[in-house]
Amino acid sequence: MNASNFPAPSIPPSALLDFISNQPSVKVDFPSILDVKNARFTTSGRASIALALEHADITTGDEVLIPAYHCEAMVAPARWLGATTVFYRINPDTSIQLEDIDAKITSKTRAIIVTHYFGFEQQLQAIRALCTKHAIVLIEDCAHALFGLSSGQPIGTTGDYAVASCMKFLPIYEGGLICSTTRDISNIRLAPPSLMFQIKSAINCLETSVFYNRLGVLGRVINAFFKFKDKLWAYLKSLQPDRQGVGLGPSSSEGGFGLDEAWIHKTMSIFSDRIIRNTELSYVAERRRQNYRTLNTSLSALPDCHPLFSTLPEHTVPWVFPLYVKNPEKYFLTLKMQGVPVWRFGEFLDSAVTKDVCPVSVEYSKHIFQFPCHQSLTAGEIDWMLNKISQIFSE
């Protein structure tokens, strides 16, 4: 069964435009990768990885070390440049296994990617020292961690490059970021996306908010406009018949895992840029933490599962709530069919990752369920989700 066979989630799986969390930011209480000055906005986190590797002159014959627990979007950028991917182990707490990394470094190793899983920060001091010793580029993957401290430093400031996926935390259709505190990335050439995509980005964002009954009276007005959307969209496409699908949007925005070469060297839309710059980030961070704690209290009491992380560190802002489920196939499809937003990071690992390579990664790809804890969830929506999960796990 594929995603098209499942009903739409009954509550929003990701952040939405509303009138609360998108007011002008006045103070950010949590360190954020968005604070890094030497940064460029891109279309996605995977495009940002590709740009970082390209800027570091990674090429055919080079090796890039990637965590065995990954999605294919983390692998495709290295292969796009002709590099060889080598997968290293993680520990049950998702920390990197430094000994395995050290053993896999060769004379061809040019870059190492380290991921802050689910928003919980890795400690990077040891891997930073190892990369410095061997003159290896360290890419700090903050796709799951827009906020936080890593080894006492603001997130995104320890690696030679850091990348983020803004659309995982904010109500935008597309958007990533590449930054560096040690390297000049101003020479990375990025072109603006087409006018058609600029419009699509705004429409998609508004349409999703209206679908989940946000934006009040304005939402009803926008919904009336959407009745004419298909005709408008067909007309806009007819203005660019030679583009053959380019401009419709990167696969990252549609839930795919591929790397669209046409979207690597483009900036995010103006609409997404304005949303990011005018979002109250301290509200986003605190609401996610509050919702995470609510889920943790309820789901910790369920049979046949346990939270992946037992505590929420002071500066950690979660992307999602990861739950380890002992018998995943007993519950996953039922949750999906009843409209509960649930998914699994790394569900489809690269074929090179086996139990011999990393048993934890293979296990987690099936056993870790992710539930939303984003800032747009209402108390009623959280209660509905927790009641559904409780009923299903108690049957």
Domain borders along the chain are 3-10+280-394, 33-179, 195-258
List pLDDT tens digits, range 234-291.
666 666 555 544 446 777 666 667 788 999 999 999 999 999 998 989 999 999 999 9
The model's confidence at residue 91, banded by pLDDT at 50, 70 and 90, is very high
The model's confidence at residue 18, banded by pLDDT at 50, 70 and 90, is confident
Average pLDDT, the chain: 90
CATH number assigned to the domain with residue range 33-179, chosen from the 4 options 3.40.50.720, 3.40.50.800, 1.10.357.10, 3.40.640.10: 3.40.640.10
The model's confidence at residue 20, banded by pLDDT at 50, 70 and 90, is low
Picking from 31-35, 184-188, 277-281, 284-288, which range would have the lowest pLDDT averaged per residue?
A: 277-281
CATH number assigned to the domain with residue range 3-10+280-394, chosen from the 4 options 3.90.1150.10, 3.30.590.20, 3.30.420.40, 3.40.50.300: 3.90.1150.10
Cα 241 from Cα 195, distance rounded (Å) = 14
- Which segments of 239-280 does DSSP mark as H helices, in order? 270-277
Decide which of 2 and 32 is more confident.
32
Q: Residue 102: pLDDT above 60?
A: yes
Burial 126-153, CB ≥16 within 10 A → b, else e: ebbebbeeeebbbbbbbbbbbbbbbeeb
Compute the Cα dihedral for 374, 376, 380, 384 and give only its sign.
negative
Q: Residue 69: pLDDT above 70?
A: yes
Cα 75 from Cα 86, distance rounded (Å) = 10
Cα 1 from Cα 240, distance rounded (Å) = 35
